[in-house]
Amino acid sequence: MTDTTKRLLDAVTFDASGLCPVIAQEARTGMIRMVAWANREALELTVETKAAHFWSRSRKALWRKGESSGHTLGVREMRIDCDGDVVLYLVDAEGPSCHTGATSCFYRRAGEDGALITDDGPPDPPALVLARVADVIAERRRTRPEKSYVVSLLDAGLPKINGKIAEESRELIEALPENDAAHTAHEAADLIFHTLVGLESAGVPIDDVFAQLRKRFGISGLDEKASRKK
């Protein structure tokens, strides 16, 4: 364990039972997957193995997420809050995270009539929608289902894909001045979809696009453009 990691763990405040709550948040999308408890040993194992470890209060034992279900949480980074009494795991999730089979443990909400409504978890944030579409496109490439529009585009190659991107760009440009929000949103969705197909064909992960956009916060658009390599 590095000195930096040790300092981080030393800054965690555990309760009288030697535990602290841990929030598991999907690194790629921001979705909260689950909340559990951990002692120092669980945190140390998480750091060492990059796999989410917790402490079961009912069984009084360490456990690794996915050890029986296979639904693992790979941990990219560990963070602590301002008071040091809550830990955040930024994770890459494999499969659902709730023991019920729901994607997130937070799958219940109050309906307008006050009754509890169950679903698969919180509504997809925008990044998750894009990431899921990109994942579906990649899955189509791997499994090659019959009568797949995505497969037909990928098989045709970049000349065909670029043609579709150009076509959808023109249609969006034509829709923008029409003052028809629904039609414009439809055309924008078509352009984004075909752009994602192009990224898959070119081998560019959507995460790389997110990283580029993330870099631009707090930077003048003119300065960012001027800093690009010619």
Q: Is the model's pLDDT at 224 over the cut of 70? A: no
Q: Are residues 188 and 134 in the same domain?
A: yes
**Structural domain total, the chain:** 2
pLDDT digits (tens, 9 = 90+) for 2-20: 888 889 999 999 999 999 9
Final residue before a domain boundary, out of 110, 139, 154: 110
CATH assignment at residue 172: 1.10.287.1080
- Is the whole model's pTM more than 0.85, yes or no? no
User: Which of 64, 79, 110 is the last residue in one of the domains?
Assistant: 110
Domain-terminating residue out of 59, 77, 110:
110
Cα dist from 227 to 32, 43, 193, 209, whole Å = 36, 41, 29, 17
Helix axes 181-202, 149-156, angle to 10 degrees: 50
The distance of Cα 146 from the centroid of its chain, to the nearest Å, equals 28
Instruction: Give the pair of three-digit tokens for residue 183.
Output: 């039609």
Considering the domain boundaries, does residue 121 fall inside one? no
**Per-residue pLDDT, 229:** 63
Q: Which amino acid is at 213?
A: L
Encode pLDDT of 26-74 as tens digits. Answer: 988 788 999 999 999 999 999 999 999 999 999 999 999 999 999 999 9
Distance CA 88, CA 90 (A): 6
Instruction: Mark whether 9 and 102 lie in a shared domain.
Output: yes
How do residues 114-173 score in pLDDT, each as one tens digit? Answer: 899 999 888 777 777 888 899 999 999 999 999 999 999 999 999 999 999 999 999 999
Instruction: Kindly give the pairing relationship between strand 108-110 and strand 32-38.
Output: unpaired
Nearest residue to 75 (alpha-carbon basis) of 37, 22, 136: 22
pLDDT value for 21: 98
- Same domain for 166 and 104, yes or no, is no
Same domain, 104 and 132: no
In this model, does residue 230 exceed pLDDT 70?
Answer: no
Closest CA to 200 of 144, 148, 161: 161
pLDDT value at residue 134 = 94
**Pairs from 115-124 (Cβ < 8 Å, separation ≥ 24):** 121/31, 122/31, 122/32, 124/29, 124/31
Question: To which H or E segment does residue 74 belong?
Answer: strand 73-80
Would you give the distance in Å from CA 171 to the centre of its chain?
30
Q: Which helix (H) or strand (E) holds 196?
A: helix 181-202
Continuous segment of H or E residues that includes residue 44: helix 40-49
How do residues 169-213 score in pLDDT, each as one tens digit?
999 999 999 999 999 999 999 999 999 999 999 999 998 998 898
Domain annotation covers residue 179: yes
Among residues 99, 90, 49, the alpha carbon closest in space to that of 69 is found at: 99
Residue 84: which CATH number? 3.10.20.810
Let me know if residue 36 belongs to a domain.
yes
Do 202 and 140 lie in one domain? The reply is yes
Do residue 19 and residue 58 come from a single domain?
yes
Q: Express the helix, strand and coil content of the chain in percent, nearest 5 each.
A: 45, 20, 35
- Is there a single domain that holds both residue 133 and residue 202? yes
CA distances from 106 to 66, 89, 219 (A): 18, 16, 36
Contact residues for 117 (Cβ-Cβ < 8 A; gap 6+)? 108, 109, 110, 111
The more confidently predicted of residues 112 and 90 is 90
Whether residues 142 and 89 share a domain: the answer is no
In a domain, 119, yes or no: no
Q: Give the distance between the most distant pair of CA atoms in the chain.
A: 64
Range(s) of the domain holding residue 200: 126-216
